[in-house]
Amino acid sequence: MQICVVALGKIGLPLAVQFASKGHRVVGADVDERVVDLVNRGVVPFPGEANLDVLLQKVVADGLLTATTDTPSAVAESDAVVLVVPLFVDGDGVPDFAWMDAATRSVAEGLRPGTLVSYETTLPVGTTRNRWAPMLEEVSGLRAGEDFSLVFSPERVLTGRVFADLRRYPKLVGGIDEASARAGVTFYGEVLDFDERPDLDRPNGVWDLGSAEAAELAKLAETTYRDVNIGLANQFARYADTIGVDVEAVIEACNTQPYSHIHRPGIAVGGHCIPVYPRLYLWNDPSATVVRSAREANAAMPAYAVDLLAAAYGDLDGLAVLVLGAAYRGGVKETAFSGVFGTVEELRARGAVPYVSDPLYIADELAALGLPPHRGEAVGAAVVQADHDEYRRLAPADLPGVTVLVDGRRVTDPDLWQGVRRVVIGG
């Protein structure tokens, strides 16, 4: 097949490489000329994705993957088009479709009869049928479901392990009609491989959910579940702090029973997915009080971590505090909705002087993010915000002068912190 992947980001580029690795001819389309140039040279534009560097070099060298900024031309030569363009939401959870609208119009300009169009970006329910289908039809002059196939098939992978997750999880597909769904199932069956999953009630592979709306809801539901579960865990942790109970031991005990799957509490819920998709769900279903309450509970955790610091240290006014970790999670150079921002903001509100360090970021990169980089200044306290592996070996000698450590991720080794007040959430 000839395949076009629109947007060569942390999901789109591994997808393009996966498709090309199966022997298909892939053109990646992106508006960023720097990304296009790097991909055409076989160079990964971002760090941290396992095996991407080796696989990208191979498919580029084999002539199976090229990149371009000319989306309409790439689409015009393709049998299938997969869009993984970012969708943003504002502080109130209202989606900003600007980038996806622009990409959809570019796709429509090159769309030809017989093409499959698949959206993988997580969307509010109804978007594929009610927004993208009319837009594609208006610009192309073709009819969705008659002249071209249209499906929604959500990405379900985690950055850093995309290729493993593509094999591990069923690929969900929902079409705007039965013919579109069949085309989507056939396509993904030819570009993906799947691990054996004896734990599933049906074989691992491509699953047709019956409609685009069902597939859209499935992605929102599975991610919203995680946010709600973490919100509940955070509520348990805050209560455990009031009664002197270790919530980790409680959760471990609860999860030995097969109907309990309590997640871990922590200082923040970040990334492009878990903090965002519940807001998209609420945009569809504003009466979902459980979802709204969980989102509010999780958003309040950075301030709660600073509460714990104040309770252990005392007045924070003028105190220099080092926030360890700008990334939203360990080992990933990404700050989308990271708890670092709320932590720094809350520290400043209490009169403290915050600094930030992260093994994945240099000082200038932190400053460009609006974060005050730590350049060796003396600090009296520290807050662990990201669970980087480096922090597992962190010791008081690494932070001379620190008398209180708030470990918001329980990543530090308590045996190394004898003599320093170490505080954990729910501990």
E-only strand ranges, 74-170: 80-83, 88-89, 95-96, 116-119, 149-152
How far apart, in whole angstroms, are the C-alpha atoms of residue 88 and residue 99? 9
3-state secondary structure of 312: helix
Tell me phi and psi for residue 406, to 5 degrees: -100, 110
Query: What order of strands is seen across the sheet that includes strand 404-407?
Result: 353-357, 320-324, 381-384, 404-407, 421-424
How far apart, in whole angstroms, are the C-alpha atoms of residue 236 and residue 230? 10
What angle, rounded to 10 degrees, do the helices at 301-313 and 339-349 form?
40
Nearest to 212 by CA among 168, 266, 175: 175
Nearest to 383 by CA among 300, 264, 303, 277: 303
Neighbours of 349 (CB within 10 A): 11
Choosing from 4, 219, 254, 333, which is the catalytic residue? 219
Are 95 and 283 in contact by the 8 Å Cβ rule? The answer is yes
How far apart, in whole angstroms, are the C-alpha atoms of residue 321 and residue 288? 38
How far apart, in whole angstroms, are the C-alpha atoms of residue 135 and residue 133? 5
Per-residue three-class SS string for 149-173: EEEECCCCCCCCCHHHHHHHCCEEE
Let me know if 273 is a catalytic residue.
yes
Token code pair at residue 370? 């609006």
Token code pair at residue 118? 């698949």
Nearest to 293 by CA among 313, 273, 303, 278: 278
How far apart, in whole angstroms, are the C-alpha atoms of residue 97 and residue 95? 6
Nearest to 356 by CA among 328, 321, 329: 321
What angle, rounded to 10 degrees, do the helices at 289-299 and 277-284 form?
150
Measured CA to CA in angstroms, residue 139 lies from 79, 86, 109 at distances of 18, 21, 6
Active site members: 219, 273
